[in-house]
């Protein structure tokens, strides 16, 4: 599995935290590689689509944000290309920090990127962009349940992308990494 992250710090920190989990280490069929380059969502998906042509690569994932109030450019084009190329993706709306927030508590109200970043920092006490992934690992199942409930609510309310703020597809990435049980049964 090759993972392409938009961010330089928090997303790679989190993925590296997953890689250090004992059951992930023991799973010899799973080799998670974080691509060293970052970029906009469309750039990431283009790199992933190219890498996915390698027959040695079973799966490529792109982790990226929507951003509010000004969205990343070409989001719909990035998602469309990912679907056509077989690249999987986890979009966080407004940003990855919402996913981090969901490790601590439910969050169901719209928020912009600046608010998500400041609230995330308030919850975990960090000063910069890097996170202590080990502190998040015990809380990831609760975050997955909360993210799945948000998705379910958006589906019920027929809220469409990018209006589905707040949301995070990271729970699907967790399922891909950890296998059965990462996605809640009712999610």
DSSP string, 19-74: HTSHHHHH-TT---EE-S----HHHHHHHHHHHTTSTT---EEEEEE--SSSPPTT
pLDDT of residue 182: 55
Q: Mean pLDDT, to the nearest integer, of 39-57? A: 94
- Using pLDDT thresholds of 50, 70 and 90, give the confidence band for residue 187: very low
Q: Mean pLDDT, to the nearest integer, of 47-70? A: 95
pLDDT of residue 93: 98
In the chain, which ranges are continuous DSSP H helix?
10-19, 22-26, 41-51, 75-85, 96-102, 113-124, 133-136, 140-156, 170-178
Q: Mean pLDDT, to the nearest integer, of 1-30? A: 89
pLDDT of residue 125: 95
Question: What is the enclosing helix (H) or strand (E) of 91?
Answer: strand 88-93
């Amino acid at each position: 599995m090759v993972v392409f992250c938009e961010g330089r710090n928090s997303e790679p920190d989190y993925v590296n935290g997953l890689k250090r989990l004992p059951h992930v280490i023991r799973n010899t069929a799973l080799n998670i590689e974080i691509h060293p380059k970052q970029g906009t969502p469309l750039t990431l998906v283009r790199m992933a689509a190219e890498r996915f042509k390698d027959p040695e690569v079973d799966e490529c994932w792109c982790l990226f944000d929507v951003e509010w109030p000004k969205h990343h450019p070409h989001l719909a084009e990035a998602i469309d290309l990912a679907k056509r190329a077989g690249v999987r993706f986890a979009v966080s709306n407004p940003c990855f920090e919402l996913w981090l927030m969901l490790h601590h508590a439910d969050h169901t109200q719209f928020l912009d990127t600046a608010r998500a970043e400041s609230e995330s920092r308030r919850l975990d006490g960090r000063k910069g962009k890097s996170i202590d992934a080990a502190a998040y690992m015990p809380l990831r199942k609760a975050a997955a349940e909360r993210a799945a409930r948000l998705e379910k609510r958006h589906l019920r309310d027929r809220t469409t992308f990018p209006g589905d703020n707040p949301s995070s597809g990271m729970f699907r990435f967790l399922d891909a990494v950890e296998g059965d049980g990462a996605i809640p049964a009712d999610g």
